[in-house]
Amino acid sequence: MWLGIVFALLSCAAYTAAAVAQRRLAVAVRAPLTDRHRVAELLWHPLWWVSLVFNGGRAGFQVGAVSFAPLTVIQPLGVLVLVFGIPWSARLDGRRVTREEWRGAAFTMVALGVLLAVTVTNGGGGTMDTADSLLVGAGTTAALAVTAWIAGRLPSASWRSYLLSGAAGVAFGVSSATVKTAVAVIAATGAAGLVHPAALATPVIAVFGLFLAQAAYQGMELGAPLGITTFTNPVAASVVGVAFMGESYTGGWAGAAVAVVCAVLAGYGIRLLTVPRDGESAAAVSPLP
């Protein structure tokens, strides 16, 4: 159990480092990533590859964490990325964390922690079959593409960030379900499992999620997009688990009521994380030299 918790903390630290790197990259590449030339600029920037390395480490540590401890212990620890990330990002920006940001982080972390603690599945499910894997993989990819298209046409940087970070969380949550299926299929069938829909969909959805998360930081501070991604990730994974992997929701009506309250509190907390500093927008942060 304690080894699983250690791996979970390392996963949070790696995820935080990746998010901070992506936030710094968003400052360096200021324009929205709907322009193809901006995406090319992104891929040439060292911070993009730094974030990929840390995201890879996060995934590896997360696998180790769930191997030694149950999800009901590991998932609530994910809120620590806000504890690590917000002051870290503020420090790199040469400023102090504002009172609104601390309040927003507190509301969001408490809401997420309670949500993950009381709205759980029984964990007794298995994996997706071929048809379900194809449906989930293709459906998620299409939904993410449509979301990115819509977000690129929103005039508000804040709402664009909300939409993109929510989509990124969905991508990460769904990819955790597809990778579980892919690993099981490959272990059972060998190399033939590499062409299973879940195995093919996992890298597409995961990479899509990385680009969406990166785009969500454009013109925004770290807290709000990171909070939304952290919120939607486990929710998406739970929905896929219940709908396609044979898990059952154990929260009941009481858990559903708590989930609604937590969603409202998390939304309020995320709203506080978007309050401009000293009347200035988050986009006013000076770019890196």
| Ranges assigned E (strand) in 58-160 | none
At 284 the pLDDT is 39
Q: What is the DSSP string of 254-285?
A: HHHHHHHHHHHHHHHHHHHHTPPBTTB-GGGS
Residue 44 corresponds to which tokens in the numbers above?
């040439």
Q: Provide the pLDDT for residue 287.
A: 38
pLDDT of residue 41: 73
Whole-number pLDDT of residue 234? 79
pLDDT along the chain (289 residues), means of 10: 84 88 81 62 84 87 73 67 79 79 83 73 71 95 94 87 93 86 87 92 91 86 83 83 78 78 84 60 39
Three-class secondary structure of residue 249 per DSSP: strand
> For residues 57-75, b (16+ Cβ closer than 10 Å) or e, as one string?
bbbebbebbbebbebebbb
Predicted confidence at residue 33, as pLDDT, reads: 63
Give the pLDDT confidence score for residue 2 in this predicted structure.
82
**Backbone torsion region of residue 252, taken as left when φ is above 0, otherwise alpha when ψ lies between -120 and 50, otherwise beta:** left
Which is nearest to 185 in space by CA: 176, 173, 172, 195? 195
- What is the per-residue pLDDT for 34? 55
Question: Given this model, what pLDDT does residue 127 score?
Answer: 81
Provide φ and ψ at 121, rounded to 5°: -100, 170
What are the extents of the domains in the chain? Answer: 2-284
pLDDT of residue 250: 67
